[in-house]
């Protein structure tokens, strides 16, 4: 049997796809053949245009994912626009930085709610539809969560982010265990240091930027497109026997 990365006929929902990693993933899924809905707070004009340029359908869903309030509506609008959701990519996330002894409850809750709580309940809602369409012995859905190097490490000045991303790793495995018998594969990608808005402060800090580059074996920051290939793999039939895995795409950071 030929190994296939083809997503023709598949429908994907990507959160936080306005820029950066989410945008790169949404466009890559479209290039692989999927129709794509994008959900988030900001108007994803550029992303929608890039998806449309591939010839695939693009659906815009405006939703504030800092709480679970819009979860049901997001799934409903994706299904209404595309007909189904075969692939869910939970990319939306925020980060708050402060010294440990000064870190506030507000910043803790904001990060945990967006990065972990909404991720779980959106996955739960999407999985219900995937399972309803399941056929015996066949993969019926893919959930791809965006984890982090801080799924494995503690980081500096980002305790709630480290906690949430560690939770993403655990939830990914827990969901994989329960959903695998129904034909849904759940995996995560742990990006390394990628040039996005979330890492702008680190890129702009001469000392930290140098320290980071000195540890990365490939000698460069990652690009959003470096994550997109992994997402296409985990969304495609090529990964039908992969579930509960956290794939680090980090230029070798964790190997050093």
DSSP percent split of the chain into helix, strand, coil, nearest 5 = 50, 15, 35
Q: Which of 138, 132, 148 is nearest to 90 (CA)?
A: 148
Domain membership of residue 213 (yes or no) is no
Q: Which residues contact 50 (CB under 8 A, 6 or more apart)?
A: 23, 26, 27, 30
Is residue 256 situated within a structural domain?
no
**pLDDT tens-digit profile of 145-192?**
999 999 999 999 999 999 999 999 999 999 999 999 999 999 999 999
Query: Would 206 be classed as within a structural domain?
Result: no
| pLDDT tens figures, 229-246 | 999 999 999 999 999 999
Residue 59 lies in a domain: yes
Report the half-sphere exposure of 201 (CA within 13 A, side-chain side): 8
Q: How confident is the model at residue 197 (pLDDT cuts 50, 70, 90)?
A: confident
Segment 111-134 shows an average pLDDT of 96
Q: Tell whether 153 is covered by a domain.
A: yes
* 198: confidence class by pLDDT, cuts 50, 70, 90: confident
209 in a structural domain: no
What pLDDT score does 136 carry? Answer: 62
pLDDT band at 1 (very low <50, low <70, confident <90, very high): low
Whether residue 181 lies inside any domain: the answer is: yes
Among 78, 87, 111, smallest CA distance to 8 is for 87
Q: What is the pLDDT of residue 134?
A: 79
Task: Give per-residue pLDDT as tens, 43-81.
Answer: 999 999 999 999 999 999 999 999 999 999 999 999 999
| Helix ranges, 39-100 (H) | 45-53, 71-82
Chain mean pLDDT for the chain: 96
Are 65 and 15 in contact by the 8 Å Cβ rule? The answer is yes
Count of domains in the chain? 1
Q: What is the CATH number of the domain that holds 43?
A: 3.40.50.720
**244: domain range?**
11-195+224-249
Decide if 241 is catalytic. Answer: no
Task: Spot the catalytic one: 21, 26, 29, 161.
Answer: 161
């Amino acid at each position: 049997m030929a190994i296939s990365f083809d997503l023709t006929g598949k429908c994907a929902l990507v959160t936080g796809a306005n820029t950066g990693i989410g945008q790169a993933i949404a466009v890559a899924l479209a290039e692989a053949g999927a129709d794509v809905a994008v959900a988030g707070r900001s108007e994803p004009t550029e992303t929608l245009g890039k998806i449309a340029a591939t010839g695939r359908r693009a659906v815009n869903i405006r939703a504030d994912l800092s709480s679970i309030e819009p979860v049901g509506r997001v799934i409903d609008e994706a299904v209404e626009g595309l007909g189904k959701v075969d692939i869910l990519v939970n990319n939306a996330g925020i980060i708050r930085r402060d010294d440990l002894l000064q870190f506030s409850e507000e910043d803790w809750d904001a990060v945990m709610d967006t990065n972990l709580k909404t991720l779980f309940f959106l996955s739960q809602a999407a999985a219900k539809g995937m399972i309803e369409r399941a056929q015996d012995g066949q993969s019926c859905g893919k959930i791809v969560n965006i984890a982090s190097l801080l799924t494995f490490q503690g980081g500096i000045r980002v305790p709630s982010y480290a906690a949430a991303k560690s939770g993403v790793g655990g939830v990914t495995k827990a969901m994989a265990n329960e959903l695998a018998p129904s034909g849904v594969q759940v995996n995560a990608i742990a990006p390394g240091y990628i040039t996005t808005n979330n890492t702008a402060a680190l890129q702009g800090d001469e000392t930290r930027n140098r320290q980071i580059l000195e540890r990365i074996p490939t000698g460069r920051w990652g690009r959003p497109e470096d994550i997109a290939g992994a997402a296409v793999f985990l969304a495609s039939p090529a990964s039908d026997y992969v579930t509960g895995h956290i794939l680090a795409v980090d230029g070798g950071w964790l190997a050093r």
